[in-house]
Each structure stands twice: as structure tokens, then as C-alpha cells.
Amino acid sequence: MKTLKGPGLFLAQFAGDEAPFNSWDAITRWAADCGYAGVQVPSWDARLIDLAQAAASKDYCDEFKGVAAGNGVEVTELATHLQGQLVAVHPAYDEMFDGFTVPEMRGNPAARQQWAVEQVKLCLSASRNMGLTAMPSFSGALAWPYVYPWPQRPAGLVEQAFDELARRWRPILDHAEEMGVDVCYEIHPGEDLHDGDSYEMFLDRVDGHARAMMLYDPSHYVLQCLDYLDNLDIYMERIGAFHVKDAELNPTGRKGVYGGFQSWKDRAGRFRSPGDGQVDFGAVFSKLSAGGFDGWAVVEWECALKHPEDGAREGAQFVRDHIIRVTERAFDDFADGGSDAAANRRILGLDR
């Protein structure tokens, strides 16, 4: 059993061009003031971090962590969701995902993909320089446009897509092994790795790579009608990161899982601030603690209704209230009468 670290906050949804969200010093002070002990950093956001410098210079990383520590928070992880997405992009999404890269790579899918691979590798190197052991990311997607089998998928289409996905990620995972950092894929609709079966398809193709871990976020499972607690029992040894994000699914006679192309506010399934949705976080934290997960509980604020700053402040206290300080002794130790092998034999009547 392990006690989770936290609360942490993913800064991606908060970084912006206005104070206190526009600089590393200011946003870490704000996060600490909200009650957080750690922050997860969007490595693509140049307002917060120079990723190339972090990969090249441990001195830069020490200074970066020092600013955070001076403001009262730790760096929990560096995340590469946007760069990981660009490792594998189906042509149907080329134009929409071009905004995730630098201007000079736009309109050139091959160059963009190479840039993305290098970005993820830089983040793994930077993570090592910061003494971190996990890097949240997305897998990208080649097969996602064919998630619903109509028209019937051509034989071998999905298998070939996963073969190619594994081919692209294998060198990155090998670099992760060299750096001593886990790649924690957020299991997420829109990615080829969106549930347990698809994760296992990928894992088989990278030969069960030890660095191909998971980011557990129960909100994505609620919206898929997937048993998020059973998922913990199945994949506990593969969970390397944890997002505390809530969700609710309230289907009607008009809409269900697919949402009818409605806005987030009007979908049957929508993300909510922690505690406002349907996730049983008491059970989630219990299973993670009992299973030995000792990483960070990181709030990822995404809510269709609540103001982000309110969600952030409430989220910090929500996580504090759910972290279980695990016990070092059994509750009935007071009744321990002591024993030895001979006494056990007598109790069992084996010497009669």
C-alpha cells in the first residue's frame, strides 16, 4: 500500500497571456495559493518552459524547479499531449491538428511528425534532468476515424494502423528506457489507445515495453460506459500517472454516448469538476492506495459549467480530502496474542 502524492494541478487549461497565468513564477505562486503541492507542466507552452533548454541543461532544470519550490510547489511531471498527438495523425485531421505545431511545420505532415517525435524525446530528456520518472502523453491516432465499423472495415486495416503506430513509438519508448522515464499514455477517445483492448493491441506490438504505461483518468471511462474500477484491477501495474477529472453521462431519448454533435454543455456525457460528476473517487483513491500507486493525484480541470478558478480551488481541497494516509499496522493488532510455528501447530491440532 502507498500514500498518493498531492494535490497536483495540470496547468494546460490555465496558462494564458494575462497574469498570473503568463509566467512560470506567477502561475506557480497562484497554484500554491489555491492549495496545490505540485504542478504538471504542459511542455509545449513556451510561456512556462523552454523545452529544448530543459533537455540540454540540468542547471536550467534546477533553476526551473527552484522557482517552483520557492513558491511552494513541486514539478510533478512534464506532459507532451499535443506533441504525442502529432506522432500519428490521420489525414482527415491534418488541418485541425496543424495548430498544435510551430508555424514552420504547418502544411507539411511529414516534417510535423518528425518534429513531434523529437519534441517527445526532448521532454523525456528534460524529465530525466528534473529527476522525474513519468511523462503523460497522447498516442496519436491512425485508426480512430474507423472506430465505428460502418461501412465494414477492410480486413487488416486496424491491424496495419497499430503496426505503424507501434513502429513510430518504439524508438521513443527505447529513449524513454535510456532516460529512466515512463511514457504514460492517457487512455482517451480520439486516440488509438482509447480503452483497455486498444492499449493491449499497442502493447503487444511494442513487445510489452516496460515504459509503455498508462495515465488513468476515470472521466474518459464514464463517457464510454467502461467500468473504471475494474480497469484499475486489470491494469494497476501499468498505471504511472493519474488525472483527477470527473464526468457524468445522462442519456436521454435524444442523445447518448456520441452526443449528437452538441456542445459540451448540451451533451449527455460531459466533463465536470471533481465531485460534481458521477465518478466514485472514494473507491478510486482506495484502489490506487491499496494497489501501491505512489504517484501524484493531479487535477485536470475540464468542466462544462464551473469557472476554472473555482474548479481549481475546490479541486485542491477535494484531492486533500480523498488522499488516504495508509496505515502502517493492522487495526486489530491490539488483539494480537503472538504466535510461533509450534503454537500454530497446537492451534490447528496437528500434534494430536
Q: Is residue 56 part of a domain?
A: yes
Task: Work out the percent of the chain whose per-residue pLDDT is above 90.
Answer: 93
Say what the pLDDT of residue 92 is: 96
Quote the CA–CA distance of 288 and 4 in Å, as a whole number: 8
Average pLDDT, the chain: 96
pLDDT band at 342 (very low <50, low <70, confident <90, very high): confident
Q: Is residue 27 part of a domain?
A: yes
Buried b (16+ CB within 10 A) or exposed e, 30-49: bbbebbbbbbbbbbbbeebb
Quote the CA–CA distance of 340 and 346 in Å, as a whole number: 10
What type of residue sits at position 8? G
Say what the pLDDT of residue 248 is: 98
Quote the CA–CA distance of 252 and 250 in Å, as a whole number: 7
Quote the CA–CA distance of 128 and 134 in Å, as a whole number: 9
pLDDT band at 335 (very low <50, low <70, confident <90, very high): low
Say what the pLDDT of residue 338 is: 74
Say what the pLDDT of residue 301 is: 96
Mean pLDDT of 317-337: 83
3-state helix, strand, coil in the chain (%, to 5): 45, 15, 40
* CATH number of the domain that residue 58 is part of: 3.20.20.150
pLDDT band at 332 (very low <50, low <70, confident <90, very high): low
Q: Is residue 318 part of a domain?
A: yes
Higher pLDDT, 331 or 47: 47
Q: In the structure grid, which three cell numbers stand for residue 4, read together?
A: 498518493
Peptide bond into 20 cis (omega under 30): yes
What's the domain count of the chain?
1
Q: Write the CB contacts of 129 (distance below 8 Å, at least 6 apart in sequence).
A: 54, 55, 57, 58, 60, 61
Q: Residue 333 pLDDT more than 90?
A: no
Say what the pLDDT of residue 328 is: 81
Among residues 168, 239, 172, which one has the least CA distance to residue 199?
A: 239
Higher pLDDT, 187 or 352: 187
Look up the domain containing 243 and give its range. Answer: 5-347
Say what the pLDDT of residue 193 is: 98
Mean pLDDT of 302-322: 97
Q: Is residue 352 part of a domain?
A: no
Mean pLDDT of 4-8: 97
pLDDT band at 242 (very low <50, low <70, confident <90, very high): very high
Say what the pLDDT of residue 14 is: 98
